[in-house]
A and B are shown apart, each in its own frame.
Chain A
Amino acid sequence: MSEHHGEIYRYVLRLTGRRTDADDLSQETFLRAFRAHRGLPPDANARAWLFAIATNLCRNHFRAQKRRRLAYAEVELGARARDDERPDGVTVSRQMGAAVGTVVARLPLKQRVAFLQRKVHGLDYDTIGRSLECSAESARAHVFQALRKVRLALERDGLIDKELAT
């Protein structure tokens, strides 16, 4: 069942921004799933279900920590991109990726969940709605809100012009 672990780990890491949280919460996700079903439902829903459990655990975790978001991308991903800033295409794209990471880390939780599930993990809106306990339309709206914010941030940093110029 832990074949999905890598993906859930990456999801939780992007959601929380901390390795220790990703470690604990991804493990807890699978232990919970196991307690509930002694394994996973064998169908494709397993993935959606794991995402829902992970999201719930993260939400409770944030509530407990009274900490809604962390600008981890600046610390972990952004720093790396700045280190080897070279004027070629690879670096621009890396810089873009890091910049998006930074914006995402600052999104409100619902938008961040919706954005990550849709844009990084490619889940459908029904599934995302289940994680957020909202309709597919609301999930879609969260993703679009996030897209607008990403765009504004990239424009503000001049990264879009830079990218379009290459």
Chain B
Amino acid sequence: MKQRPAVCIRIEADLVAAATGEADAAAARRVTDHVAACGSCGEEYAHYRAVDRAIGALREVPVDAGGAARARERLEARLLDLRSRLIAYRVFDSPLGPVLLAHSEQGVVLLEYLHGPAGAAASRRLAHRGGVELVRDSGEAEALYRELQAYLEGRTHQLRWPLDLRLVRSPFQRKVLERTAEIPYGAVVSYKRLAEDVGQPRAVRAVAQALRWNPIPVAIPCHRVVGVTGLLTGYAGGETGRKQRLLTLEGVPVVPAHHDYAIARGAMYVLAPGDSEYCLPSCPSTEMLQSGRPMFFGSRTGAEAIGLRPCTTCRPDLHPLHEVN
């Protein structure tokens, strides 16, 4: 077998590269120079050029366009289905303890306070939903959580989360939650009042259950609903510590009561149902305070933020209560 010159062996890799469009300018120049002088490498080069053209021909071979189009149609349908079923979740260490935040394409599905080992509780609540596909969140929940954090640090008064109410169990619960979402920041109403507002004045306990299973606390502020006597009574199926913290954050005066906390109604402004003026708790027009129907405000700013005017009889603007915050 004929021994090839060393220079030809050395340039072989560059030659293949140059012939198939893979070489840089310097290598291409070296190859051109060498090929001009070396007959056998010239032939070699021509062969690889032919290979390159053949590869070009391979690219031109039509590849099953019909099959591709059909596969793509099926893919679109499956993607659509997957998108509707996908729920992404992530656990965060919030100021209120570990919380699980889950969201779909439509919005936040679940905010759950974790009591036991992280994740266990939530997977129970989500996994029991048929047709749901759970995945770990890959980053979008971060922005949602940052907003929650800002809220819990008092930097914002409203979570602008889009909500996905798919975990709501009944039209009744939906009605209760929608009504609850309207309670303004810094205000408190009783379960009884809420029951009346949804048109079921005797369903106070059902209202409480509906709130207990509120899938998205904080965003739907069920912590702003308390017992008719002012006791916090319960929160998210657990003790009321978190409820007390959330209310205090909003400027609602909360004091310890036996085995519980209570809002300090004597230190809050009062709004009778249907009224557009808020009053001092001592105002004669608030005699129905015991009925459990008024809305209470922790501060004048909270009341005025929703467009209420001070009562012209008791003038809370001239004799403000000692305001918390």
> Is the pairing of A and B real?
yes
Q: B1 at the A/B interface (Cβ < 8 Å)?
A: no
Q: Cβ of B138 and Cβ of A13 under 8 Å apart?
A: no
Residues of chain A contacted by B82 (CB below 8 angstroms): 31, 34-35
- Out of A13, A26, A120, name the residue touching B59 (CB < 8 Å): A120
Q: Cβ of A19 and Cβ of B64 under 8 Å apart?
A: yes
Given known contacts A30-B79, A35-B135, A100 and B67 CB-to-CB distance under 8 angstroms: no
Q: B124 at the A/B interface (Cβ < 8 Å)?
A: no
- Out of A27, A31, A100, name the residue touching B55 (CB < 8 Å): A100
Q: B324 at the A/B interface (Cβ < 8 Å)?
A: no
Residues of chain B contacted by A101 (CB below 8 angstroms): 58, 61
**What is the number of residues of chain A that contact chain B, defined by CB distance less than 8 Å?**
45
| Complex: A77 Cα to B64 Cα, angstroms | 10
Residues of chain A contacted by B70 (CB below 8 angstroms): 23
Q: B20 at the A/B interface (Cβ < 8 Å)?
A: yes
Q: A48 at the A/B interface (Cβ < 8 Å)?
A: no
Residues of chain A contacted by B79 (CB below 8 angstroms): 1-2, 30-31, 34
From 118 to 166 in chain A, residues with beta carbon under 8 angstroms from any chain B beta carbon are 119-120, 140, 143-144, 147-148, 150-151, 154-155, 159-160, 163-164
Q: A97 at the A/B interface (Cβ < 8 Å)?
A: yes
Q: Cβ of B86 and Cβ of A160 under 8 Å apart?
A: no
Q: Cβ of B47 and Cβ of A97 under 8 Å apart?
A: no
Q: Cβ of A34 and Cβ of B64 under 8 Å apart?
A: no
Q: Cβ of A163 and Cβ of B60 under 8 Å apart?
A: no
- Out of B50, B53, B63, B86, name the residue touching A38 (CB < 8 Å): B86
Chain B binding surface SS class: helix
| Complex: A143 Cα to B23 Cα, angstroms | 13
Q: A37 at the A/B interface (Cβ < 8 Å)?
A: yes
Q: Cβ of A5 and Cβ of B75 under 8 Å apart?
A: yes
- Out of B22, B47, B53, B63, name the residue touching A13 (CB < 8 Å): B63
Rounded to whole Å, the gap between the CB of A23 and the closest CB of chain B is: 4
Residues of chain B contacted by A107 (CB below 8 angstroms): none
Q: Cβ of B47 and Cβ of A38 under 8 Å apart?
A: no
Q: A6 at the A/B interface (Cβ < 8 Å)?
A: yes
Per-residue CB contact flags for chain B residues 54-79 toward chain A (1 = under 8 Å, else 0) read 11011111011001101110111011
- Out of A27, A143, A163, name the residue touching B53 (CB < 8 Å): A163
Chain A binding surface SS class: helix
Highest count of chain B CB atoms <10 Å: which of A2, A97, A144:
A97
Q: Cβ of B74 and Cβ of A23 under 8 Å apart?
A: yes
Those 5 A-B pairs whose CB atoms lie nearest each other, nearest first: A97-B57, A96-B54, A100-B58, A9-B68, A97-B58
User: 24 interchain pairs (CB within 8 A)?
Assistant: A1-B79, A5-B68, A5-B71, A5-B72, A9-B68, A10-B63, A13-B64, A26-B71, A35-B82, A38-B86, A38-B105, A93-B53, A93-B57, A96-B53, A97-B58, A97-B60, A97-B61, A100-B54, A104-B58, A119-B20, A119-B59, A120-B58, A151-B48, A164-B46
Q: B-side interface residues toward A, CB under 8 Å?
A: 13, 16-17, 20, 22, 46-48, 50-51, 53-55, 57-61, 63-64, 67-68, 70-72, 74-76, 78-79, 82-83, 86, 88, 105, 133, 135, 138, 140
Q: A-side interface residues toward B, CB under 8 Å?
A: 1-2, 5-6, 9-10, 13-14, 19, 22-23, 26-27, 30-31, 34-38, 77, 93-94, 96-101, 104, 119-120, 140, 143-144, 147-148, 150-151, 154-155, 159-160, 163-164
Taking A10-B68, A31-B75, A96-B54 as known contacts, 8 extra A-B pairs with beta carbons closer than 8 A to each other, sorted by chain A number, are: A2-B79, A6-B68, A23-B74, A31-B79, A36-B138, A100-B58, A151-B47, A163-B50
